[in-house]
Amino acid sequence: EGRVLSTNVTTDAFTDVTELTVYGPSHPRLLAMIAGACAAAGANIVDAQISTTRDGRALDTIHLQREFPMAEDEERRGRRIARSIEELMRGEISLETLLKSKPKPKSRLKAFSVVPQVVIDNSLSDDHTVLEVNGLDRPGLLYELTATISDLNLDIASAHIATFGEKAVDVFYVTDLLGKKITSPERQAAIRDRLIPVLARRPGDKEPAAAGKREASVA
């Protein structure tokens, strides 16, 4: 039986990150699946490059904050996350079930204040609406953002995920399900209204019950 995805895990003790590469069929919720699998494993995503090839396949490179000093242990963790992503893609396990095993976030003695911000720009790309979101970085943030974007019936074509200290700065290139830009002021306001509370949530706050649930079936 062929594998749904091709995955690769490499570690780098010098940069203190582990790189997870995922290549396979493009899927509207693939990024949410990847981020959910990482969150369930307690892995913190510090950087990510998300792209779609011309033949419609996804090529995603995820950088995880290193957890173990030994490369073998870190690679084992990466392979476990990769297996979870494959199981999600094959429908063998649900994100809801997987996230039940998510470790509780470690409390921070001090957290900086970052004002949540959502910028929606149609001038930066000919074919996509660009969403730039800023907020306090925390475990599981990328999963909640991508799940919410998918729930809004937006298709993520590419993304750049970055953290600057305590601040997360994530950029998503999106369209609606018909491949069109988001030009309606009402639709843009709805996107802001959904994303701002996600960005404003603090580490340890309870997630809303609807987080990550699909509102519409996507082929």
The domain that holds 123 is classified in CATH as 3.30.70.260
Q: Residue 122: what pLDDT?
A: 98
Q: Residue 211: what pLDDT?
A: 45
User: Residue 151 to residues 71, 80, 187: CA-CA distances in angstroms?
Assistant: 37, 26, 13
Alpha carbons within 13 angstroms on the beta-carbon side of residue 172 total 26
Same domain, 90 and 168: no
Same domain, 78 and 130: no
Q: Residue 100: what pLDDT?
A: 81
Q: Residue 2: what pLDDT?
A: 55
Q: Residue 6: what pLDDT?
A: 92
Give 153-168 pLDDT, tens digit per residue. 999 988 999 888 889 9
Sheet holding 17-25, edge to edge: 6-12, 17-25, 57-65, 45-52, 154-164, 167-176, 129-136, 117-121
User: Residue 81 to residues 21, 34, 163, 210, 217: CA-CA distances in angstroms?
Assistant: 11, 8, 21, 24, 25
User: Token digits for 206?
Assistant: 């309870």
Strands (E), the chain: 6-12, 17-25, 45-52, 57-65, 117-121, 129-136, 154-164, 167-176
Q: Which of 185, 200, 72, 69 is nearest to 133 (CA)?
A: 200
Buried b (16+ CB within 10 A) or exposed e, 188-205: beebeebbeebbebebee
Q: Residue 215: what pLDDT?
A: 35
Q: Residue 206: what pLDDT?
A: 62
Please give the residue range of the domain that contains residue 166: 117-200
Q: Residue 101: what pLDDT?
A: 73
Q: Which of 99, 134, 154 is the endpoint of a domain?
A: 99
Q: Residue 66: what pLDDT?
A: 92
Same domain, 132 and 172: yes
- The answer to whether residue 208 is domain-embedded is no
Q: Which of 64, 99, 134 is the endpoint of a domain?
A: 99
- The answer to whether residue 213 is domain-embedded is no
71 burial (CB, 10 Å; 0-12 / 13-18 / 19+) is middle
- Token pair 């996804």 is at which residue? 58
Ranges under pLDDT 70 in the chain: 1-3, 103-112, 203-219
- The answer to whether residue 145 is domain-embedded is yes
What is the count of structural domains for the chain? 2
- Local structure of residue 139 (DSSP, 8 states): T
- The answer to whether residue 74 is domain-embedded is yes
